[in-house]
Amino acid sequence: MAAVQGTTPAPPSARSQFWNSRAMRRFRRNRLAVFGLFLVLLFILIAAFAPLLAPPPKVGNNCLRDLGASESGQVYNVFAGVFWKALVAPPQSCYMTARVNFQAQPSPPLQPVQSDVGEVRPLMGTSNGYDIWYGLVWGTRTAFMLSLSVVFFQLLIGVVLGAISGYFGGWVDNFIQRIIDIIFAFPSLVLIIVITSLLGKSLSNVILAFVVVGWAGYARLLRAEVLKVRSLEFVDGAKAIGATDWRIIFRHVLPNALTALTAVVVLDLGSVPLAAAALSFLGIGLPPGYADWGQIVSAARAWIQGPPGQPLAYWYVSFFPAMTIILFGLGWNLLGDALRDALDPRET
Amino acid sequence: MFAFIIRRLAILPVVLLALTLVIVGLLQFLTPAERAAAYVTSEQQLRNLDKIIRDKGLDQPFLVQYWSWLKEAVRGNLGFSKASNKPVTETIAERFPATLELTLYALVPLLGFGVWLGTLAGLNKNKWIDQFARVFAVITYNIPTFVLGILLLVVFYGALGIAPGPGLISSETQVALLINPVPRVTGLLSIDALLAGNWSVFWDVLHHLLLPVITLATISTATLIKVTRGAMLEVLSQDYVRTARAKGLPERVVNLKHARRNGLIPVATLGGYTVIGLLQGAIITESIFGLPGIGSWGVDAAGKFDVPGLLGFALLAGVIVVVASLLVDVLYALIDPRVRFD
């Protein structure tokens, strides 16, 4: 029997399947989305390579000492331990914005300014004596530490409680939903202000405050998804062959609900650092001197008016931080919006 | 509807109880001496820390402390705010009108401009005005309130010098008000000045409120434009709009009477979010522009570890949001007869 030897096409590789999936095609077509992705990647690179972009200075903070190095240039030596330590696990002191001197008066970008070790030329100038470039670059790292940990814990608590609430129903559901109602009935900024100011200024307290108010949104979303998926046949099928509740939640319900969570996670990754910056701007967030965007903008408040005759003399103290914050928010928002559109099964 | 309003108002005490319980609960992470710091206003008191702890019962069990706070609060005594140097209730009464003034004025450009641009964008899909509206919405949505406020100050106060500096009134007006005070009727200084016929004070307040109002309105405007545009597109494809066109009604009547009236219904659902957004924005805006409202007081209280002040501030925020969202929901039902209270 002469079999028809049709050339069966090789099954598409997983990568090309992903790349050519409907959501990806839709995403790639969207030019704004690609721009958003570019901005986000740029910020990720800045955060990852902060120690190389803004190397620890000789004076201004204790970063260099705590790294066990004597020269700023040592961080560029790939073969030395300092390079890896600075990149992977920099000591806390590196997150303190380098203070060039103690002059409140800003000094312009690239202009020589006197510090304890002689003249230096800060790339973006100084504000209150703080090196703006250093603050923005390490502030990007702070922003990512904050957003990643906040979103991780929000997701953890939200997914667990949302799944329990949606899957089991009854009084558990009722109880969790009433707590969420209360959190929603309240402006989150007020709660965050109250929590951080009572617990004290620190990165972990700010994270805690954001998680306390933020998990509720995830739990609501996941509960709705669980209710939708729970009534589908394959869940009944899984139940019929004796799968436990937890197995059904983790193997069947959660993977189906994750699509809805993705866009929210991306939008939150962008908005949490901005909200935290607002908090620091108000003087309630991170400890003073910590490298974060809000404090740099806050320092700019004193230098809105230039000296007589030069109204824009201090433009750099507000321009660079403002641009950083706006581009960061823009990038994540474009990306998040595009993901939401791309993953939305209703749109064609 | 009456039952609905009662049920919604019934959640208010629950929200406030839960909230204050959390705040007093959080305080338990601190030592009694740290808690006493909230009441210290002078060096002399610092030496009598033990007395403060005893008087205020700060070393008592959590529920006892909460109960004693609650007893006073129900009687209308919310304690003394270190940040404003006045009793909390008095501070709220004094400062709330300024916040109300800011947010009410912000509603004008927010609703006017947002709905106007959103409608135009929806009616002219993919034309230049639509593209403009979308770019405008994306950009303004992404500028946080505090950054926008600073940038506006840099440009209009610092560089151009056409906007006044921080504060609700200039120092000249302050002096003028001392000599010739405006009688307090509504508490909103601009309205009171208007009622008293004092034009210079009225203009001065408006002048000072211009930048804060723009700052506060901008972010919410972006959302409003997006939602109005989407709702207009949805409505324009409805059968009754086609029917109205087929009847030969003028385009303007179709667009504004048939389409926009119905297009605004989903916009009304934004009400609750807008209230929360405006309140949060007001906290930041007041702090940037030095306006004497409850937002700047709350921030001040947070910075000075003024626990009674913070509790009062949080309580007030809860009341505002619950009551305002309720009002919005009732309005929503009034404009859309399809909505039923259940």
Question: Does the beta-carbon distance from B310 to A189 stay under 8 Å?
Answer: no
A321 to chain B: which residues are within 8 Å by CB?
147
Does A152 have pLDDT greater than 80?
A: yes
Q: Which secondary-structure segment (H or E) carries A127?
A: strand A126-127
Q: Mutation test of the interface with chain A: which of B92, B150, B160, B322, choosing the one with the most A Cβ atoms within 10 A?
A: B150
The answer to whether B4 contacts chain A (CB < 8 Å) is no
CA pair distance A329, A316, nearest whole angstrom: 20
Chains A and B form CB pairs within 8 A to the count of 132
Q: At what angle do helices A254-281 and A293-300 cross, to 10 degrees?
A: 30
B150 to chain A: which residues are within 8 Å by CB?
297, 300-301, 304, 318, 322
And the tokens for B70? 């609650």
Write down the mean pLDDT value for chain B.
85
The answer to whether B13 contacts chain A (CB < 8 Å) is no
Report pLDDT digits (tens) over A211-238: 999 999 999 988 888 888 877 888 888 8
Distances B32 to A118, A194, B37, B55 between C-alpha atoms, Å = 48, 18, 9, 12
Partner-chain residue, chosen from A322, A329, A334, that has the shortest CB–CB distance to B150:
A322
CA pair distance B227, B137, nearest whole angstrom: 11
In contact, A284 and A202? CB cutoff 8 Å: no
Mean per-residue pLDDT, B264-280: 81
Question: Does the beta-carbon distance from B158 to A306 stay under 8 Å?
Answer: yes
Partner-chain residue, chosen from A197, A318, A333, that has the shortest CB–CB distance to B141:
A333
B154 to chain A: which residues are within 8 Å by CB?
304, 312, 315, 318
Question: Does the beta-carbon distance from B299 to A282 stay under 8 Å?
Answer: yes
CA pair distance B116, B69, nearest whole angstrom: 48
B198 to chain A nearest CA, in Å?
31
In contact, A122 and A109? CB cutoff 8 Å: yes
Contacts of A267 (CB under 8 A, 6+ apart): A332, A333, A336, A337, A340
Partner-chain residue, chosen from A274, A301, A306, that has the shortest CB–CB distance to B144:
A274
Residue A99 — φ and ψ, nearest 5°?
Answer: -105, 110
Report pLDDT digits (tens) over B76-111: 888 888 888 889 999 999 999 999 999 999 988 888
In contact, B318 and B16? CB cutoff 8 Å: yes
Partner-chain residue, chosen from A187, A274, A318, that has the shortest CB–CB distance to B321:
A187
In contact, A299 and A130? CB cutoff 8 Å: yes
| Residue type, position A260, single letter | A
Hey, how many other C-beta atoms are within 10 angstroms of the C-beta on B252? 8
Predicted confidence at residue A348, as pLDDT, reads 46
Question: Does the beta-carbon distance from A278 to B146 stay under 8 Å?
Answer: yes
Predicted confidence at residue A218, as pLDDT, reads 92
Question: Does the beta-carbon distance from A333 to B138 stay under 8 Å?
Answer: yes
Predicted confidence at residue A1, as pLDDT, reads 46
Predicted confidence at residue A122, as pLDDT, reads 82
Which chain A residue's Cα is nearest to B150? A301
3-state secondary structure chain B: CHHHHHHHHHHHHHHHHHHHHHHHHHHCCCCHHHHHHHHCCCHHHHHCHHHHHHHHCCCCCHHHHHHHHHHHHHCCCCCEECCCCEEHHHHHHHHHHHHHHHHHHHHHHHHHHHHHHHHHHHHCCCCHHHHHHHHHHHHHHCCCHHHHHHHHHHHHHHHCCCCCCCCCCCHHHHHHHHHCCCCCCCCCHHHHHHHCCCHHHHHHHHHHHHHHHHHHHHHHHHHHHHHHHHHHHHHHCCHHHHHHHHCCCCHHHHHHHHHHHHHHHHHHCCHHHHHHHHHHHHHHHHHHHCCCCHHHHHHHHHHCCCHHHHHHHHHHHHHHHHHHHHHHHHHHHHHCCCCCCC
Contacts of B150 (CB under 8 A, 6+ apart): A297, A300, A301, A304, A318, A322, B288
Does A20 have pLDDT greater than 70?
A: yes
Mean per-residue pLDDT, B58-70: 82
Hey, how many other C-beta atoms are within 10 angstroms of the C-beta on B325? 19
CA pair distance A219, A85, nearest whole angstrom: 38
Interface confidence, given as ipTM, is 0.86
Distances B289 to A316, B152, B216, B282, B286 between C-alpha atoms, Å = 21, 11, 11, 10, 5
According to DSSP, the β-strands at B86-87 and B80-81 are: antiparallel
B124 to chain A nearest CA, in Å?
21
Mean per-residue pLDDT, A322-338: 91
Q: Considering all CA atoms of chain A, what is the largest pairwise distance in Å, rounded to the nearest integer?
A: 98
And the tokens for B190? 């601009």
Lowest-confidence segment of A108-112, A147-151, B30-34, B164-168 by average pLDDT? B30-34
Partner-chain residue, chosen from B11, B158, B160, that has the shortest CB–CB distance to A185:
B11
**Which residues in B20-55 are b (16+ Cβ under 10 Å) and which e?**
bebbbebbeebebeebbbbbbeeeeeeeebeebbee
Report pLDDT digits (tens) over A36-89: 999 999 999 999 999 889 888 887 788 888 888 788 778 888 887 788 888 888
CA pair distance A98, A137, nearest whole angstrom: 11
And the tokens for A109? 């970008």
The answer to whether B322 contacts chain A (CB < 8 Å) is yes
* Structure-token match 């922003």, residue found: A143
Residues 135-174 of B with CB under 8 A from A: 138-139, 141-147, 150-151, 153-154, 157-161, 165
Question: Does the beta-carbon distance from A190 to B142 stay under 8 Å?
Answer: no
Contacts of A240 (CB under 8 A, 6+ apart): none
A12 to chain B nearest CA, in Å?
37
Residues 73-102 of B with CB under 8 A from A: none
DSSP conformation class of A10? P
A300 to chain B: which residues are within 8 Å by CB?
150
Distances B202 to B191, B199, B288, B293 between C-alpha atoms, Å = 7, 5, 22, 18
